[in-house]
Structure 1
């Protein structure tokens, strides 16, 4: 290993210590606790080392499963093509797409396969994290939450206070349910970066979602995309608890939400084209950080991601009266 090997672009983008308190959910979406985490990926003398200090505060069998009584310290082969995790704690790899990495790896101690997505969002000053936890193809739980970065945590009392307040807020927000605007029509609008299957940035999409409630559990949405992808789809959405469905006419599929995070798969009618998505509701103003992966013929076509912001329109479901 040569000491002059430079860190990848992704490695440089995550410099510093990251602090979060991601929530732990059972497979059905039940919130069962938190995991206080401090972590860093450090590139020193040509080697990359990833460490994590964790402390679980949860109930039920998942707490015993994930609280190993030991911190994590594992090697990484760093590159902008593949980040390969060499153990002992995690074995597998991640694919960087600019400020997002999509990883799939195995934890021997937890006996789970993880699909982990980390998305650094400079405009919001945070990293949006989630891990879906599997045994084979069976989902057994989900971690998700937001992180903030520091470079002087050990020495700066102001930074320590800032992180403590952030973690307190994450404790309140971690189990809040994902919701769309329930009673108002409006528009969600934002710009997404677009990467091809070779992880190359090939442009941007302007994304506009026209949203109209039908009743408290149904809404109609039209997604318009302009840029690298130029498409338009309309679908009726329904929600029953944390179960979501898409009823066409242009997209059909379903999803489940785990706190503020909604994971969905939508199939485009009449085409070998589908959308896998992770959408995170950041605040009560209906700001969503989205990762949308498009697949064609079951193969990755585009990875796109960005922030959607809500522009409120007319009140559709106001009070009813009988005169």
Structure 2
């Protein structure tokens, strides 16, 4: 028997996770779903990760990803690095409290993955995504929301809860990423802040003031107060599932895959950029965000949390022309 103890991240993900992430082609086209149950299990000083998948998709990605076998691979578990030792995945993950940012390779799928898993206890879910690459070229995306169980095999009520969740995910996974289209308002929340050494250094109050200009344009001001203090305003445009940020303070672009938007914004006049994954998780415009501030091409801070929307005036109410 080993006296080795599981990492904090391993403790945070104890149990069996259930989800039905959507599968998207590189251009953002939704092509199907993947029913998944998975767990990371610590026993006798060793960690084993297993995953059972059942794809239901169309096109060549179905043949690529449905390999017809249970995935099961070793993990070197720690709070500094989680190293995946194969055979199904080879690479590592970097934990920050309740979020892990992983980069690894799947020989069976022939893709390199950037996977971000964020456990959100206040919402009772894990927000998951994998961007799939050949080299630097994106070839697809998986993303979706998971719930965890401890008694799925034996409890009919839990089984029904999971079944209901999976059905809802099948419907919601293809919804497009849209912020409030007609109502101005404020997104508010508190993010945990981790430094480049993965140490929790405090929290940040995050406020995003949002005002639609028309159905495709909005003005947003992001304000960070706390460990990190910044304020940026930019005009944001949407064209299908692509977005752009036009300054004056931030310039960049993003691409959405269903409910998830991945973007990079450069701060004008500074060696600073913001990488973000933002996910709309309900009908109330609640956003779950994972942000990384990169300074001089190096990781500076990783921030993540929940933003809840406080709706204001409908600034795109019906317009009329009165003719005598």
Aligned position for 1:14: 13
Q: Which residue of 2 aligns with 1:52?
A: 51
Structure 1 ranges of 4+ moved more than 4 A: none
User: Which residue number in structure 1 is paired with residue 88 of structure 2?
Assistant: 89
Gaps of 5+ in 1: none
| Structure 1 position 314, deviation (Å) | 1.0
Secondary structure at 1:7 match in 2: coil
What residue in structure 2 maps to residue 203 of structure 1?
Answer: 202
* Secondary structure of the corresponding residue to residue 181 of structure 1: coil
Counterpart in 2 of 1:161?
160
In the other structure, the counterpart of 2:310 is 311
- Distance, in Å, in 2 between the alignment partners of 1:229 and 1:47 is 38
Q: Does 1:104 align with 2:125?
A: no
Match of residue 294 from structure 1:
293
Structure 1 residue 246, shift from structure 2 partner: 0.2
Q: How many residues of Structure 1 are paired with residues of Structure 2 in the alignment?
A: 322
Q: State the Cα distance separating 1:284 from its structure 2 match.
A: 1.4
* TM-score calculated relative to the size of structure 1: 0.99
TM-score normalised by L of structure 2:
0.99
Cα distance between partner residues in 2 of 1:97 and 1:277 = 15
Q: How does 1:210-225 map to 2 (within 5 A)?
A: 210-225=209-224
CA drift at 1:270: 0.4
Report the CA distance between 1:3 and its aligned residue. 1.3
- After superposition, the CA RMSD in angstroms is 0.5
Alpha-carbon offset, residue 315 of structure 1: 1.2
Aligned to 1:175: 174
Q: Spell out the pairing of 1:207-286 with structure 2 (5 A cutoff).
A: 207-286=206-285
Query: Which residues of 2 match residues 9-158 of structure 1 at below 5 A?
Result: 9-158=8-157
**CA distances 1:166-212 after superposition (whole Å, capped 9, x unpaired):** 00000010000000101111000000000000000000000000100
Alignment partners' CA distance in 2, 1:26 and 1:270: 35
Unaligned runs of 5+ in 2: none
Which digits, 9 at most, give the CA deviation of each residue in 1:92-151, with x for residues without a partner?
000000000000000000000000000000000000000000000000000000000000
